[in-house]
Amino acid sequence: MAGLGGIGGVSPIFASIIAQPFQAAALRPGQVLQGLVQSVEPQTLIRFGALVIPVEKVEALQPGQAVSAEVVRGDQGLQLRITPGAQGLAQHLAAETTDAPLRDLPGIIVNALQSLGKLDLAEQAVGLVPRNIADNPAAVRLVLSLLLDRDHGDDDAQRAVRIIQRAIDDGILTEAEARDALPALRGLTSGNAEKIALALRHAAAASLRPIAARLAEALGKGGVQQLVTSLSDDLPTALTRLLENEGFAEFLRQTGQLFDFHRAVEHLVDRFAAAQLVNARGADAPYLFFALPMPADSAVRHAHIHVMGEGGGKTQRFDAKNATVVLDLSTSALGDLWITLSATHGACSCWIRARDLDAVAAIQSHAGELAARLADAGYPGASVQTALWDGNRVRELATMMRRFKGLNVEA
């Protein structure tokens, strides 16, 4: 595959896969994986996310080394075409950067990924950063953290709700003082379907607000925090306002909750700012992104939603009959899902990809019901298809983002 060979002057290595049946079922020729070498003795083990693939011993690799690997079919079965990815990575990306004002972007991305422990994703991550924030390290790190990292807990909203509610119960805060923050926070901490829908609508509405001018001004003045303080009537602003309440601040100090509340607010504000920064892609084409953190016991644990209109332009105008919606989900019952809803001239197709055969079968058994729901939503005759998926959501994100203007880092 183009772009794999010769990174940093390193030639690719072919190694036969020694895989169990359940592992082999998740692999297909042409598939490209990004991972880390786990061990080399007595056979080489390479971890690609949750998938560990054993191959014949490769002495040229070292434990902890980042690699790119393409699945190919050889005379004796499946092989990996392995290219060490860490050596010369920044130089490789810089050499492929043709836009002069952004020549230092690859270094920014590498530094951000190093801080997140995800250096192996560098080649794919380049395409995830909107061009108009590419020269701001803090903004790049926030965007990559939000899009790539699902390991962080989503209990910040729950923690903030508990603390605020206790302050209300103790008479420190009035309901009016907590009015702007508490309902929105509770919407993020409930697994109730109705409240989830309300939270989704709130998140979408917040993301739709035009931010391009404020984004440029905020970054020009030196940071993401300037963007947050330039917004009004949003959850981060309401939380920041609570921190400025002297009585509440004293309550936090006396009860030993100052650090916990500050940390929860910091995480929530960062997540909000990151979502707004992702939406900077709306400067190139109709695009909307919003993330919905969910409680650990919710049926949907993580939800990232991307809405894309057809055509270019700097307006956030969407035509329901010509648009694509991508749902990047992690669920308790069906695992990770990648769902693509595409409407073209009113004709709708839905592809649902899951990592587990049982999940695929379960979804397929309800395909008729899903098609009926889409018909009720205004898409009669919608087709619903399912497929087995390897779970590489970062690759899917990078592929999806190619429709936008960005850096071309493929050879």
Q: How many residues does the chain have?
A: 411
**Domain membership flag for residue 379:** no
pLDDT beyond 50 at 101: no
Query: Where residue 51 sits, what CATH number does that domain have?
Result: 2.40.50
- In a shared domain, residues 79 and 94: no
pLDDT for 167 = 93
pTM exceeds 0.75, yes or no = no
DSSP 341-394: EEEETTEEEEEEEESSHHHHHHHHHTHHHHHHHHHHTT-TT-EEEEEE----HH
Whether 32 contacts 68, CB under 8 Å: yes
Q: Looking at the domain assignment, is residue 168 inside a domain?
A: no
Question: pLDDT over 90 for what percent of the chain?
Answer: 18
In this structure, the answer to whether residues 126 and 143 fall within a common structural domain is yes
Could you tell me if residue 12 is inside a domain?
Answer: yes
Considering the domain architecture, whether residues 80 and 97 belong to the same structural domain is answered as no
pLDDT at 24 over 70: no
If asked whether residues 107 and 124 sit together in one domain, one would say yes
Q: Which residue has the higher pLDDT, 166 or 309?
A: 166
Judge if 78 and 26 occupy the same domain.
Answer: yes
Q: Determine, yes or no, domain membership for 408.
A: no
Its sign, for the CA torsion 272, 269, 300, 358, is positive
Do 97 and 127 have their domain in common? yes
Last residue of a domain, one of 84, 115, 135: 84
Number of domains in the chain: 2
Q: Which residues form the domain of 135?
A: 89-148
The CA-atom distances, in angstroms, between 136 and each of 214, 281, 284 are 15, 15, 19
d(CA 288, CA 317): 10
Residue where one domain finishes, among candidates 98, 115, 148: 148
Q: Would you report the helix, strand and coil content of the chain in percent, each value rounded to 5? A: 45, 20, 35
Establish how many alpha carbons lie within 13 A of residue 318's alpha carbon, considering only the half-sphere containing its beta carbon: 16
> Where does 206-346 show beta strands of DSSP type E?
287-293, 300-309, 323-331, 335-344
HSE value, Cβ hemisphere, 13 Å, CA-based, for 70: 13
In a domain, 132, yes or no: yes
Task: Match 């996310």 to its residue by tokens.
Answer: 49
**Same-domain check for residues 77 and 23:** yes
Alpha helices in 126-257 (DSSP H): 137-148, 156-169, 182-188, 193-208, 212-220, 224-229, 235-243, 246-254
Highest mean pLDDT among 96-110, 274-288, 321-335: 321-335
Question: Does residue 210 belong to any structural domain of this protein?
Answer: no
Give the residue from 128, 148, 168 where a domain finishes. 148
Instruction: Evaluate whether residue 341 is within a structural domain.
Output: no
**How many Cβ atoms from other residues are within 10 Å of residue 53's Cβ?**
25
Q: Name the range with the highest mean pLDDT among 5-9, 162-166, 224-228, 276-280.
A: 162-166
What pLDDT does residue 232 have? 43
Give me the sign of the Cα torsion angle 66, 19, 32, 278: negative
How high is the mean pLDDT of the chain? 75
Three-class SS state of 139: helix
Position 102 in a domain:
yes
Residue-level pLDDT at 67 = 81
> Which residue type is seen at 269?
V
